[in-house]
Structure 1
Amino acid sequence: MALAAGESPRKRRRSRTEFWMLLPSMIVLAAVSLFPFFFMIYASFMDYALDMDKPRFAGFDNWKGVLTADTFWESWGRTAVYAGGGLIAQLALGIAVALLLYHIPKFRNLFSTLLMLPLFVAPIVTGLLWRFLLDPTYGLYNWFLQKLGMNVQILGDTAYAMPAVILMDVWEWTPLITIIVLAGLQTVPEEPLEAAEVDGANGWQKVRYILLPMVRRMIVVALLVRSMDILRYVDTITIATEGGPADATKIIGYYLMQVAFRFQDIGGAAALGLTMLIVSTLLGRFFIKVMRSEEA
């Protein structure tokens, strides 16, 4: 077989070696990833109610049950509020803190390390921590609110429970956006900033017209990572509110967990999980398209 134009025999042998070295890990990764995916598709068309070992074919009954249930659409509505509010708050705070750290000449690494501490806290621990802090009997934050004349049970009130769990997510994951944006800011060359300063640009103008446009791709990457995570993380809500009060914090991930483990509806849970996969894929494609447009 003739060599491709411009390709040396040594380079061709190296490519083959790399391929054969990566092949075992690629096979394992494909098996681990593809088998659950195809099994979930299979389970979404099966009925496990009578016998878990010998399910019967149910056709589109599981999909019909999921898509026509009011709880399904209500959960997606609450998910939109939870994800939208959390992402907006995290993006605004993350960019603001990243810009602040970028302009700190000394101890930047120290402050960055301290801000990263919430990332090392497990989501379950975060739920426990905030549940204790907001407890109406001995919670520290609830005590402050009572001193201010606000006698409310935050996690037990439908008006405050959702903002509370959004705040928990913001507290834990804003540092991730901060670190990603800060990494992008540190790659911005000094020449455009110096030229803008010579032209008389003030600090806000340099941020608006130079820094933010040059790190837009990193901001999109941060949003992509967080949008994928925020749909699947239910640990904090499970511990803090268990989807309550009155389903006020029952997002789609928690609803899926209920259908699968509490109601033992494996087929319905599989169909529900596939809808989450479709939404996640669409979100991922949207952000990737935005990234490519930024590169262009």
Structure 2
Amino acid sequence: MNTESSKVYEQSTVASAKVSKKFIHLPKFKTEHWMLFPSIVLLAIISIFPFIYLIYASFMDFMLSMDQPAFNGIENWKRVFINETFWASWGRTGIFTITGLLLELIIGVGVALLIYQLPKGRNLVVTLWMIPVFVAPVVAGLLGRFLLNSTYGLYAWLLGFVGVNKEILGDVSTSLPAVILMDVWEWTPLITMIVLAGLQSLPTDALEAAEVDGANYVQKLLFVILPLISRTVLVALLIRSMDILRFVDIIKITTEGGPADSTKVIGYYLLEIAFKFQDFGTAAALGLTMLFVTIFLGKRFVNFMARGEE
């Protein structure tokens, strides 16, 4: 009896251990999901719900003065796409984006290569070079407007020596280039910082092999360094292209879209429709077009990087 009792006891102990093991892991699995639940809810509140509501508003006659929005079908979308200002704003945005990205890329990569070659004082130079990034865009716009003022601006005074005697931000031919250069001044250091991080992670054996083969600096730059940091450069361009499409701050402070709409990019046009004319239905449709363009560009960048990796 004692032997049988001990066997029964051992079997019951093993069974209870298996059951307890299952129940021990089950609460842990559930806890992990419950810990993620607040983040999922927060994500839905700040992104998914506003996105759905934006789609809803784009099909509504939604004015601030109205008591109740009314469904108007695709009128908002028609109002957006048949408007000449919409296409002209996208054209300026394209010029702004391509010119700004090219300047930021060339200057940012060039400065990163120069900083990378410094034997000493690299941290100090990087700190000083990064100062514009920490300046708020509104402050950058105020600074640019002050420096380009035809009466007391430093840049306007210097331009006077080469025969440029006019209000830079008040002229159709110079206002957009001036705003582009303000954006380049503020965000080129970000490109430099990202590229510099890529340069510091370069494999030394590849550079040493190029030196052993007798390659000069230009050859190392073209055939070793730039190919190795190309993905880093693409990431930097992706970050900036997503941000530059929403460019509004400096234009609002300096030109307010003028003169003669010469600086009215798509972001400022959206701001004008939403808060000046208070037509939130049309603004929602316009905002969705900006979102689709942003997603399209982001997808192209990602596919390009994937092809490069293959």
TM-score, reference length from structure 2 = 0.89
- Structure whose residues are more often helix by fraction: 2
Cα separation, 2, equivalents of 1:51 and 1:145:
47
Match of 1:245 among 241, 259, 263: 259
Q: 1:3 maps to what in 2?
A: none
Q: 1:184 maps to what in 2?
A: 198
Q: Offset of 1:30 from its aligned partner?
A: 2.0
Q: Offset of 1:11 from its aligned partner?
A: 9.5
Matches within 5 A, 1:102-251: 102-251=116-265
Change (3 A) 1:184 1:14: farther
Kindly indicate whether residue 300 of structure 2 is the aligned counterpart of residue 286 of structure 1: yes
- 1:178-201 superposed Cα distances (whole Å, 9 cap, x missing partner): 000110111101111111111110
Cα separation, 2, equivalents of 1:40 and 1:229:
20
Q: Offset of 1:80 from its aligned partner?
A: 0.3
Q: 1:5 maps to what in 2?
A: none
Query: 2:172 aligns to what SS in structure 1?
Result: coil
Cα separation, 1, equivalents of 2:259 and 2:86:
17
Cα separation, 1, equivalents of 2:40 and 2:269:
33
- 1:124-147 superposed Cα distances (whole Å, 9 cap, x missing partner): 000000000001111111111123
Cα separation, 1, equivalents of 2:303 and 2:260:
38
Change (3 A) 1:20 1:234: same
Change (3 A) 1:185 1:70: same
Cα separation, 1, equivalents of 2:206 and 2:238:
28
Q: 1:277 maps to what in 2?
A: 291
| 104-113 or 55-64, which deviates more | 104-113
Query: 2:245 aligns to what SS in structure 1?
Result: helix
Query: 2:108 aligns to what SS in structure 1?
Result: helix
Change (3 A) 1:95 1:24: same
Answer yes or no: is the 8 Å Cα contact 2:64–2:278 preserved in 1.
no
Cα separation, 2, equivalents of 1:53 and 1:193:
68
- 1:81-127 superposed Cα distances (whole Å, 9 cap, x missing partner): 01110001001111111111111111111111111100000000000
- 1:226-264 superposed Cα distances (whole Å, 9 cap, x missing partner): 011001120001101111111000000000000011111
Q: 2:13 maps to what in 1?
A: none
Change (3 A) 1:99 1:23: same
Q: Offset of 1:284 from its aligned partner?
A: 0.7
TM-score, reference length from structure 1 = 0.93
Query: 1:73 aligns to what SS in structure 2?
Result: helix
Q: Could you tell me which amino acid in structure 1 is paired with residue 134 of structure 2?
A: F
Match of 1:23 among 37, 55, 58: 37
Kindly indicate whether residue 84 of structure 2 is the aligned counterpart of residue 70 of structure 1: yes
Cα separation, 2, equivalents of 1:85 and 1:119:
19
Change (3 A) 1:15 1:148: farther
Q: Could you tell me which amino acid in structure 2 is paired with residue 153 of structure 1?
A: E
Q: Offset of 1:286 from its aligned partner?
A: 0.7
Q: 1:97 maps to what in 2?
A: 111
- 1:20-39 superposed Cα distances (whole Å, 9 cap, x missing partner): 32221122112210111111
**Any stretches of 5+ residues in structure 1 without a counterpart?**
1-8
CA RMSD across the alignment: 1.9
Change (3 A) 1:14 1:290: farther
Kindly indicate whether residue 60 of structure 2 is the aligned counterpart of residue 81 of structure 1: no
Q: Offset of 1:53 from its aligned partner?
A: 3.5
Q: 2:49 maps to what in 1?
A: 35
Answer yes or no: is the 8 Å Cα contact 2:61–2:70 preserved in 1.
yes
Q: 1:4 maps to what in 2?
A: none
Q: Could you tell me which amino acid in structure 2 is paired with residue 88 of structure 1?
A: L
Answer yes or no: is the 8 Å Cα contact 2:108–2:192 preserved in 1.
yes
**Any stretches of 5+ residues in structure 2 without a counterpart?**
1-22
Q: 2:20 maps to what in 1?
A: none
